[in-house]
Homo-oligomer: A and B are copies of this chain.
Amino acid sequence: MNIEQLILHLDTLNIDYKFLNQPPKCNLLTISSLKKASEQDVVYVLDKKHVSDLHGRTPGLVIGNEDIFDEYSGFSLVVAKPRYVFAKLAQELYKETSSSFIHSSSVVAENAQLSSNVTCEPGVFISHHTQVGEDTFIHANASIFENVKIGKNCVIGANVVIHKNCEIGDNCHIEAGTVIGGDGFGWEMYEGQWHKVPQVGAVKIGNYVSIGNNCCIDRGALEDTMIEDYCIIDNLVHIAHNVVIGKGSAVAGQVGFAGTSKLGQYNTVAGQAGFAGHLTTADQCHFLAKSGVTHSISEAGVYAGFPAQPHKEWQKENIRIRKLNKLATDLKLIQKQIQSLQSAKDEN
Contacts and interface: CB of A to CB of B under 8 A. Distances in A.
Interface in A233-264: 234-236, 238, 240, 248, 250, 252-254, 256, 258
A235 B218 contact: yes
Interface stretch (A16-24, A66-74, A319-327): A319-327
A295 interface: no
Interface string A112-128: 00000000011101000
Given A123-B107, A159-B141, A230 B196 contact: no
A179 B175 CA distance: 9
A182 B160 CA distance: 13
Contacts of A25: none
Contacts of A161: 157-159, 176-177, 213
B141 A123 contact: yes
Contacts of A165: none
Contacts of A327: 327-328, 331
Interface in A323-346: 323-325, 327-328, 330-331, 334-335, 337-338, 341-342, 344-345
Interface in A175-192: 175-177, 179, 182-183, 185, 187-188, 190, 192
Interface string A207-234: 0101011111010001100000010101
Contacts of A321: 317, 320-321, 324
A345 B338 CA distance: 12
Contact of A141 (B125, B196, B307, B338): B125
Contact of A271 (B90, B195, B208, B256): B256
19 contacts: A36-B223, A84-B190, A87-B198, A121-B125, A143-B159, A177-B179, A179-B213, A179-B235, A182-B212, A183-B212, A185-B234, A185-B252, A193-B208, A194-B250, A212-B216, A236-B236, A254-B256, A321-B324, A330-B335
